[in-house]
Each structure stands twice: as C-alpha cells, then as structure tokens.
Structure 1
Amino acid sequence: MVFTRQNVLRVYPKSTRFDSSNYNPLIGWMHGVQMVAFNMQGHGRSLWLMHGMFKANGGCGYVKKPDFLLNSKEVFDPKIKLPVKTTLKVTVYMGEGWYYDFHHTHFDAYSPPDFYARVGIAGVPADSVMKKTKILEDNWLPSWNEVFEFPLTVPELALLRIEVHEYDVSEKDDFGGQTCLPISELRNGIRAVPLYSRKGEKYNSVKLLMRFEFI
C-alpha cells in the first residue's frame, strides 16, 4: 500500500495461463496497483469486472484511485471489516429482449425459457456477495419484482454484478447475459440496464428494468 502511493506498479497474468484466463483484478485494485494487466482475448467473470470498473469516468480508460489509497496516513487493509458507509437497494423488476436476440430454441427446444437473475457485489471481502431471484418458468418476459439490499463498507471499490441465466434441470444452466456497473457511477432511480454476452458484446435488445436506491 505504501509503495503504490509513490511508485507505479504493474501486475499481469503469469505465463503459465495458456488458456488466456485471468485473476481477480480487485486483488490488485484493493492494494493500490495502478496497472492491472489482463489477457483481453479471453472472457469470463474476471474480465467482466475489468470492463465494469472502466465504465467509470466516461469509459475513457482511466479511473482515479480512491483517496484512502493515495493520501491517507493509515494503511488500508481490505481484509479488515469497516463500518458500513452506505447501503445499495436494488429492485429487479423485469427483463426483455431474449426473444429477439436468441433463436427460439436456444434455451429450451420445446418450451419458453426459465429465467432467473443473479445480483451481487464484487469488492472487498466484507462487501462481496451474490443473491438470486426466483426462477420464472416458461416466460420470455420474466417479471421478478424482487428487492435486494447490499451494505457497503468500501463503495469506492465496489462493482454491481448482474447476470441472467436460464435454469436447466438436466444440464448446466444456460447463460442469458451479464453486466458489471461501478457503484460510484450509480444514481438513484429506475434504469433500463443493457446486458452483454460472455465476450462483452452488447446485445441488441436484452435489458433489465431495475431501480437503484442508496439508503
């Protein structure tokens, strides 16, 4: 921590990652690392977090470190549980667009899909959590209307994770979209949140109707 206040540090995936996989970038960000290098040719949750973090600051590719990693006299320890600064209340109303962006037999060959959403926080260990809506069977236009609350001790380093999956009894659940949003960029209100593919490509029509409130 002290080192990265006065020096530039770069970390990168080790050379034995032949499959172009990545590590959790939050490990570097929590310790003040300025350049967290990634294998950009791959895909997966670690890369989704990277995309989410750099949606901040207008998506210009630069995000300023929080003040407690720059100027604080105390050394920040991400493993210590701090007091809650704010609580994010997330309402997941409904989703739409899969009917137009996916083949009608993509999820189930003989019936409409059974969607559920996963919503959570990626951040310091005390804040990190994932929650799940109920599964809505046989519905291209799922309406969950569920509310989740996330107490945040370090909102400056937190990302809101959103995923949609299609429940499958006999096989692995099918992927239906994802996005990550920096908590620092969220504002109170109802939003239509677009979802992205595994590779980070924005779907034409798939989106969730959600409400964000800081309480």
Structure 2
Amino acid sequence: MFRSTLALLLLALPLAGQAPPPLKEVVERFDAAQAQVQTLQCPFTLTLRRALLKTPSVTKGTMYLQGSDFAHFAFQPPEDLVLHLTPKALISYSPEAREGELMKIGLIKNSDRKFLGLGQKLSYLSDYFQISLSEAKDGSNTWFLALAPRTLSLRKRMQALNLWVDKETWLPRQIQWIERSGDSWFLELGALRINQALPSGVIGFKLPEGIPLRSEFSFFATRKK
C-alpha cells in the first residue's frame, strides 16, 4: 500500500530538469505574449552590483511599461529617484533634490539599452544576441535565456543579458544586465497587472518647470576598462 501511494505521489510531481522546448517555440511564445501586453505595472526589486564595491545596493519601487513607448520606474523612499526611459531619451529625476539628467539616444534600434530587455521581442533581440535556452535552476518555474552579444559594439559594453521567462505566462520574471566592467543590474518583477490603465502622471510624465537638467545619465555610469 505504501509503495503504491508513494508511486502515485511521485507521478503527480513535476519532472525536475525537464528538457526545454525548441528555442524557436520559446521565441514565438514570448513574442506573442509581449504583443498582448499594451500596459504593465508591477512592484520591482533592483539589485545593483558594482565591480569595485563588495556590498550590492538593493532598491524597490513600482515599474510601469507601455509597450515599447516607455518604461517608468518610481523608486520607493529613501531612494529619491524616478527613471523614465523612452526610445529617444533616458531621463532621471530626483523630486526632493529638484534636479534631473537627460541623455538623448536617438531611435531605440540605435541604442544598446533596449529597456534592459523589457518591451522587446526576442526575435528582434536575436539579431543582436546569441540566445541559449535552459531550465532555470532556482525552482522558479521559468525558462532561462542567456543572451550573448553578437556585435563588436555590444561586446565592448556588456557581457550578457539574461532573461527568466515564466513557463505559464511567457512573460519576463527577472532580467539581468551584466556590463563588461563586471557591474550588473538584476531586476526582479512582482505580481504583474496587465492591460490596466496607468496613472496619468506616468503616461504624461514631464519634469516640472525650472528643473535643471544635466546632459548625462549617471544611473548607467560604470567603471571604464
């Protein structure tokens, strides 16, 4: 009786280390899921590791995404920061300090940031990255996609872009950007609210009048080698 009950329990368990589907299928499902998302908002945790620092910095907040139009990060206190990324510009704003930074980047296709992998089709990214697929080893029920830069210009800036894709929704759960210097950003997304109205202040985001803007974007500043 014990053996038969144990056998039934084992049969009910998901298979560990199951073989991933063909990469083409994952790309198609990911792109189809992305295409259905007009807007997205969720809590996030961002872990920033600097090559010259032993202790990483961890910040939290809310992320808002509208297709490939913009990604908006509102950080929780004590972090005094709002990031607004569009295909043509990167804006950082400190409400309490009343100062900001602006870096114009032209069209998104000419930028190697690409919203850190958010709002972009894998079929598009595959033109710039070599993609390998495996099952995530952290028990998160995700597929792990390691994207290695193809072009020399990208390889000069970065080592890898990693995505953890949910096996059920086929949407990103975690994103990791690793610079050539060793600096990295690891973005963990919480519960997703999809295709719901975004706050008007996010959609029509504008800096208040009179805010001085520096022509830089220090959030992405890294140690040069």
Structure with the higher fraction of residues in helix conformation: 2
Structure showing greater radius of gyration is 2
Q: Same fold (TM over 0.5)?
A: no
